[in-house]
A = this chain, B = another copy of it.
């Protein structure tokens, strides 16, 4: 059976989930056939799956196996995880139970978590839920979490928070779909390197200090009970491997979802979340780096910042003559705050209308701009954008600019060599590319080169859960990618400083922006 990579790309791949469930009708033992129970089960599995060389059964399952085989009259359903040419048994239950075949895919972000409940029989996402990452109680951004995890109590507290956050959403999905945790033998997780360290209870300390080394990029398969996830305790937890301290499994997921690594054309993938990761490459080579963009675009950092959910202002325009603000909210409700795309729109419009200058400073010496007056908001407080909020966003975009320039120069490429500009993250979903180009966050490319991938982190987790081909491709991607550390890169620092202008010090690199600014001046 084939599954289809939906959203931006329609790619077929064979359905081969991380775990396999098979039904066995076994000839019971007799005096002329006195194989041990385990050998009998193994031989029957290998008859169905002749490519296997061996099957491993844990001591726990070994203990329950004799009675399960006999009470079911040797009709059992086993769940297996295959690795190379061997398989590990995850579960054995009496009778025919292959219809009950589920898995989870998860995106664990610094701020929020998304989970898919997936039917492993056909690869369909049958339900999904999302929620906040409770770690935000101990710090909004990655660096403050790493600091908090410096001692063992802090690390343990952050691990509990992320696991608790996941378990709450898992329980929600289980309840909604009349399932129990034993029904879920597998979960596939995608997240940045620090998140995966915290999830596994491994110190992320060395990620934030030179020379910026993760403890592990590919933790391999983890048993669910070892991290106390509320799925089958003997189920497997697969974390999409990372490439380096600041290019995590979430970015590898993005590469997988974009199929950047499959085309001869040169493409860029950017994820402007917490760190502003950038990948450049094609089927022959790939380089990646992270610009330490900072959390300017995540809810909670900007005064009225919020996630892209109901009540968030996602689009803003300012009428040039009246300076009146027009906006759209998600769900068409009264506005509560501004999400990332609204923020970008807002700054682009403030700039285009001459309310802020190229440095992002309010021209008339104001310290903020009112987007929505108090009487029109859901909470009765006016929604504003401050000078500080604007400066923060400019720093983020400066870091992205600089990282892109460094990485392009590093491989001797020019902007015009880029055939596709993939934007990863839920963030990109509502962004108006014209605004992003106006403030210089996106390069001034032909508009048809921009591809919004949506939440490609969970898309990668879904693919890895369902497709062996994709899991093999992940290995190739992580092996072939070159990671450039920008944390102490002087070239990056120089370019970053040049990028702290709207859209950039070098206005010639943004011809369509220049044109709009010129025509706006003429209009005035």
Contact = CB atoms under 8 A, between A and B. Distances in A.
A56 B220 contact: yes
Interface string A487-522: 010000000000000000000000000000000000
Contacts of A483: 34
Contacts of A216: 36-39, 62
A66 B217 CA distance: 13
A30 interface: yes
Interface string A171-205: 00000000000000000000000000000111101
A63 B199 CA distance: 11
Interface stretch (A207-215, A338-346, A366-374, A456-464): A207-215
A135 interface: no
A324 to B, nearest CB: 51
A34 B215 contact: no
Tell me which of A34, A242, A244, A245 has the highest count of chain B C-beta atoms within 10 A of its own C-beta.
Answer: A34
A182 B198 CA distance: 27
Nearest to A216: B38
Copies in the complex: 2
Contacts of A206: 37, 66, 70
Given A66-B202, A67-B203, A219 B34 contact: no
Interface in A1-58: 29-31, 33-39, 56-57
A59 interface: yes
A282 to B, nearest CB: 23
A127 interface: no
Nearest to A222: B59
Contacts of A29: 211, 213
A201 B62 CA distance: 9
A34 B213 contact: yes
A469 interface: no
A33 B66 CA distance: 51
B34 A65 contact: no
Contacts of A63: 200-203
A210 to B, nearest CB: 7
A485 interface: yes
Interface in A61-79: 62-63, 65-67, 70
A226 interface: yes
Contacts of A220: 56-57
Interface of A: 29-31, 33-39, 56-57, 59, 62-63, 65-67, 70, 200-203, 205-206, 210-220, 222, 226-227, 242, 244-245, 483, 485, 488
12 contacts: A29-B211, A30-B211, A31-B485, A36-B214, A36-B216, A36-B217, A38-B217, A38-B218, A59-B219, A62-B200, A66-B203, A66-B215
Given A31-B212, A65-B215, 15 more contacts: A31-B488, A33-B211, A34-B245, A36-B213, A36-B244, A37-B215, A38-B217, A39-B216, A57-B220, A59-B219, A59-B227, A62-B202, A62-B215, A63-B202, A66-B205
